[in-house]
Structure 1
């Protein structure tokens, strides 16, 4: 496999850990609090992070360090939409919660699939890489005649069961990130071409790969009998303003090594951008949610005219709004302006944006620097706010 086509993304890992450590935000599926559990085995100590809310998983800290994944962020480097990386991980946690309760299981980053293993699995099948899950190249370069790359990224999540002073593996979730568009070049550094992949095709290919992944994981002694979840994620194209969505998942129990067609559960998850663009038109989004955002945007722009843009990403599950992420770009240069603007945002968001769902608002300058951040949990009524000062104040 050509290792130049593999990249490891560390930003997502850093972001996840940072958010997990901030108990006020609670915007990921992890929580952090002063309450934690410590277990000791010989000279090794394992600690759980504790949880601020039953909605979030506790994490595993071993010997004073967060236990990071052995293969996090490895993916075929031909999709440039960073939104796919973030939403893939977030939605994989949402799928896991359907099987592994946050009240019973503790989250641990994947420990059973190494970087080299995942790199090989993401490659094409060949004489030198017989574990490649993507189809062997047929030597053709036509958009409809070549064998495309279906599998773009793969992630493992482990779920531990705590019993007294011990943590034991209770189950594993593996996500398969599948391309809806495969980008390729015919010659090195040449023009980029595209192969469109239908949802029907990528789903069928993903299910075949899921069976192969399941069989391989069952060969590991630690994974022989634990529940294993395989989830399929449809990646959005490079020019999409939102990330992709989980489309199906299946659960293997009692050591089974294959999935039947009846094991698969379809997911009606969709992501949209507000306000609607001519390309997206938000045909499946709730009109009331979009109207609420439009009111919020209008009042914010009227109050503070020095804005370059106000947009939002809305994630739906079964046609119900699950999360709203608002992005605002300003032309401000004064810190007092940013403080006043952030204060106004907290009031306007509480008044106009939908209640009962997590909301995040990120304010950035024209150069991309984050100026302030606001967040509210699904159960909360008020917004946590923070203005980033160039003086280093907390």
Structure 2
């Protein structure tokens, strides 16, 4: 949730345009192979807090296991929180000034699929436990691991890039959804925090030992980050709860660190929690002011993200329908004024105005910034 704008067309266009303008075409150069010379470039940075990415032969270098994480997530919020949060964990070990981001190249899709499956006679590499044949929610062996993702962090050596470190995320289930028969009803097995943590740490050591045997990985630091999946019906994504570091070629995790993160939705419904009450009150006041300004609003909701008990980001969605450009322009101007006046002052804020067909406007402020920027999407 650090940068919600990555999911919006405006933010994507800004990133692409900026990256093209600052493309590093000479700092990295080419990488030689026995058959061809592969041209390597980087995307450039839009912010000091973001990594540059790798471009090979004019194309973005995609993951060897591309699409697998998406296939494993029925809740789209989990996918976004997992991938964005994984880079935040990586920044604790691999500084954006010293490392260049590369999508995972060492864990192939077929291998990852075997690791995600249950252990069996035909799949001895499965990280999830053997199927014990039970179908009762409290007696069966649940799937603890839902998704896995690798991120590589490269360093520049002369005119080449080389692997300098690696982060692997393990998405753990707090609820394992299963069926007793194909196309049948869906049942749930709840997994305790203690069990989820112990299984995750055990799997982390197995993953490190296996990656050490993978050609090209060598003795680089490997970070394993543990992520708690949100439930399928959640309106927010899950959160990371721990990460471990394997240093200097070690085949195990040498140190573990706890991560204190939480996600909430506003307005609060029923017995749900809100995080910080003052932040919830600020949003409620903002919501009331916005709803009184324009009569056709069909909903104003927010997702909030907390780190160590402090608000790190708020993503607000406003659903409505405007009938003229002047309406949406005036509304956007008012949103900037209201956001400055009523919303928390230090956290990153993003506001998306949507209709049934498309996104109509976008307003955002970076963490620590004093001002918002805005854009109204036109038809030209």
> TM over 0.5: same fold?
yes
Unaligned runs of 5+ in 2: none
Q: Which residue in 1 is equivalent to 2:191?
A: 197
- Aligned-pair Cα RMSD in Å: 2.3
Give the TM-score, by structure 1 length: 0.88
Structure 1 residue 163 displacement after superposition: 3.5
- SS at 1:381 equivalent: coil
Selected match of 2:364 from 372, 375, 388: 375
Selected match of 2:172 from 178, 186, 193: 178
Selected match of 1:167 from 161, 165, 170: 161
Whether the 8 Å contact between 2:73 and 2:79 is mirrored in structure 1 is no
Give the TM-score, by structure 2 length: 0.91
Whether the 8 Å contact between 1:231 and 1:250 is mirrored in structure 2 is yes
Q: Which residue in 2 is equivalent to 1:230?
A: 224
Q: Distance in 1 between matches of 2:123 and 2:328?
A: 53
Selected match of 2:117 from 119, 123, 134: 123
Selected match of 1:96 from 76, 90, 104: 90
Whether the 8 Å contact between 2:10 and 2:362 is mirrored in structure 1 is no
- SS at 1:32 equivalent: helix
Q: Distance in 1 between matches of 2:137 and 2:220?
A: 41
1:157 aligns with 2:151: yes
Unaligned runs of 5+ in 1: 1-11, 26-30
Whether the 8 Å contact between 2:69 and 2:79 is mirrored in structure 1 is no
Q: Which residue in 1 is equivalent to 2:243?
A: 249
Structure 1 residue 304 displacement after superposition: 1.3
Structure 1 residue 53 displacement after superposition: 2.3
Q: Which residue in 2 is equivalent to 1:286?
A: 276
Q: Which residue in 2 is equivalent to 1:334?
A: 324
Structure 1 residue 352 displacement after superposition: 1.8
Whether the 8 Å contact between 2:328 and 2:360 is mirrored in structure 1 is yes
Q: Which residue in 1 is equivalent to 2:23?
A: 36
Q: Bigger shift: 246-255 or 119-128?
A: 119-128
Selected match of 2:51 from 57, 67, 81: 57
Q: Which residue in 2 is equivalent to 1:271?
A: 263
Q: Distance in 1 between matches of 2:186 and 2:258?
A: 33
Whether the 8 Å contact between 2:286 and 2:343 is mirrored in structure 1 is yes
Query: Number of residues paired by the alignment?
Result: 369
Q: Distance in 2 between matches of 1:225 and 1:78?
A: 30
Deviations 1:29-80 (A, max 9, x none): xx83622323123532111111132111111111111111111331496752
